[in-house]
Amino acid sequence: MKKKILIISGGISKERAVSLETGKQVAKELNKNGYIVKITEPDFKLVDVIKSFKPNTIFNALHGQFGEDGYIQTILESVKIPYTHSGVISSAIAMDKELSKKIFIKNNILTPKYILYSFNQSKLNLINSIEKKLKFPVVVKPINEGSSVNVFICDKSNIIKNLKILKDYKRIIIEEFIPGREIQAAIIGVKKLGAIELKPKRKFYDYEAKYNSKAKTKHIIPVDLSKNDYNKIMSLALKAHKLIGCRGVTRSDFKYFRGKFYLLEINTQPGMTSLSLVPEIAAHYGINFIQLIKMILNDASTKK
């Protein structure tokens, strides 16, 4: 009998457009391969849609807040149908850049030094208090955003202005800026999928560099690393994936500087359009788009 897959995409996060594209492309591929597919939004009708469609598996194609942070996963646990990618707790930890950095540090995974920013902090002392712990330039970012949305590289002259833009977020981190190369590594299940280097033409790998082909970010695969360093980055990505208890596919974002890998974050719902990085890595290592989707579906579950 044909398998029924319900794809949840869209949502209310700032990555809505990317999620819709992920949903559309995964649906197209599943349709081509004989599955019965339905796409839905994660709105108040979701549980009714699940109950009437009765999918074998739910493919979570959401990104960002309410889709990647444990919220939607709680609803999917309650309907007891296997869903793809990480479960409630792992999603919540991975989405929280501060919490996940604490876990990385405790387990000897290098990550840029950081402080938590408090909006009550006096602006007069801000620069001084940052300089007690970090060197400028620094990176300011919300702890729970994605796709480089509202990530700013700051020096002393523009940090206050940039922090103002982030005033609606509850928690912000200020991190030391790590120069050097941008390399990302993907894991599926307990398998090391591979890594890719991104060379943005822009100041950093920002939203435009990620999604606008005119921004001309270069994708380099295979990555130009010694065998030893390649093994190192893949082992770090697998270690982070296991430590946080992730399921299905994850993509860990690193900076590589002076022979050291700094883990910026682990993504539990990486982009899955046919032009996204994880499918590109998979394809390079001989796993085509439908095979990758099937691997993700096979790892779907509840109770984790």
206 near Mg ion (CB under 5 A)? no
Place of tokens 């928690």: 171
Q: Which is nearer to ligand ADP, 29 or 175 (CB)?
A: 175
Strands, DSSP E only, in the chain?
4-8, 36-40, 57-60, 114-117, 138-142, 152-154, 172-176, 181-188, 191-199, 218-220, 249-257, 260-267
**What are φ and ψ of residue 86, in 5° steps?**
-70, 155
| Cβ atoms of residues 151 and 139 within 8 Å | yes
Decide if 207 is catalytic: no
Residue 68 touches which of Mg ion, ligand ADP, none (CB < 5 to 8 A by kind)? none
For residue 54, what are the contacts with CB-CB under 8 A and spacing of at least 6? 4
96 near ligand ADP (CB under 6 A)? no
Q: Which is nearer to ligand ADP, 35 or 262 (CB)?
A: 262
176 near Mg ion (CB under 5 A)? no
Decide if 229 is catalytic: no
Residue 251 touches which of Mg ion, ligand ADP, none (CB < 5 to 8 A by kind)? none
- The interface with ligand ADP within residues 248-287 (CB under 6 A) comprises 253, 255, 264-265
Judged on CB neighbours under 10 Å (0-12, 13-18, 19+), 66 is middle
Q: Which is nearer to Mg ion, 151 or 300 (CB)?
A: 151
| Cβ atoms of residues 199 and 165 within 8 Å | no
68 near ligand ADP (CB under 6 A)? no
Residue 112 touches which of ligand ADP, Mg ion, none (CB < 5 to 8 A by kind)? ligand ADP
* Residue 91: both structure tokens together: 């999603």
What Rg value do the Cα atoms of the chain yield, rounded? 19
68 near Mg ion (CB under 5 A)? no
CB of 147 to ligand ADP, least distance (A): 5
Q: Which is nearer to Mg ion, 15 or 299 (CB)?
A: 15
Distance CA 108, CA 242 (A): 14
Residue 84 touches which of ligand ADP, Mg ion, none (CB < 5 to 8 A by kind)? none
Decide if 253 is catalytic: yes
Decide if 131 is catalytic: no
Distance CA 184, CA 66 (A): 24
Decide if 202 is catalytic: no
Decide if 71 is catalytic: no
Decide if 182 is catalytic: no
Q: Which is nearer to ligand ADP, 37 or 151 (CB)?
A: 151
Strand 172-176 with 152-154, pairing: unpaired
* Binder among 145, 175, 182, 253 for Mg ion (CB under 5 A): 253
Decide if 267 is catalytic: yes
69 near ligand ADP (CB under 6 A)? no
- The interface with ligand ADP within residues 141-200 (CB under 6 A) comprises 141, 145-149, 151, 175, 177-178, 182
Buried b (16+ CB within 10 A) or exposed e, 13-31: bbbbebbbbbbebbbebbe
Distance CA 171, CA 55 (A): 37
CB of 151 to Mg ion, least distance (A): 8
Residues serving a catalytic function are 15, 147, 211, 251, 253, 265, 267, 271
